Amino acid sequence: VIIADINDTKANETLKLLKGPNHTAIHTDVSVRENVTHLFQTVQKIYGTVHIVINSAGIIQRPTLFTNTSEAEFDKVLSVNLYGTYLVTQAAVTMMLKNENATGRTILNIASVSSKGGRRFLSSYSASKGAVISFTKSVALEVALKGIRVNTILPGFTDTPMTQDTPENVRKGIIAEIPMKRIAKPLEMSEVIVFMCGPRSTYMVGSAVLVSGGTFL
């Protein structure tokens, strides 16, 4: 397993959770092409190729009215959430296609429930994740015949470090909109990710799977 993360501390924490010796953490800013190039050069050097890629890098803006969102803030969110997904996916597909038979190779992009119904005060985040879905479907159509499956999941509000700083009043408002009346556990997302990347989903191509506790059906 290669863990590509801009946060070296978190990457090494994840590394310690993995069994076996053949895992590597690489400092990577997915919004910088040179970083992504270095990442895949390292993958090729250590492992030769790549079979599964999960694009999970993402940032969220500070909640604010669209009219108060600066260009710099909008660009920053899109540079990580969309442009980063593009860079990693492009490098991954290029590497996968170097093999005569790419059957079984999988790319999973992490979008968001916000991309389906929008979210007030999160215009740049919602826009970036909506674009990830369209991008995923387009790439999936291009590489399906090569044996590469590209899909996306749309997680609902999940208990992760990115959401733990959410103000309590906002948190309660979000939970009130969820039919199950609770936020998701990380394990509930990881189980879906394992399924989407594994042998039980081999006929799923360009799918956008909603994992939201019933939000935005």
How many helices (H) and strands (E) the chain has is answered by: 8, 6
Report yes or no: 121 and 91 within 8 Å, Cβ to Cβ.
no
The token duo for 50 is 């790549």
Strand partners, 52: 106
Report how far residue 134's alpha carbon sits from residue 115's, in angstroms, rounded to the nearest whole number: 10
Looking at 47, 86, 125, 203, which residue is catalytic?
Answer: 125
Q: Which residue has the tokens 């290669």?
A: 2
Mark out the alpha helices in 18-51 (DSSP H runs). 33-47
Active site residue 125: yes
Report residue 8: phi and psi, to 5°. -65, -35
Kindly state the tokens that stand for 212: 């939201």
Residue pair 80/61 in contact by the 8 Å Cβ criterion? no
Residues tagged active-site: 125
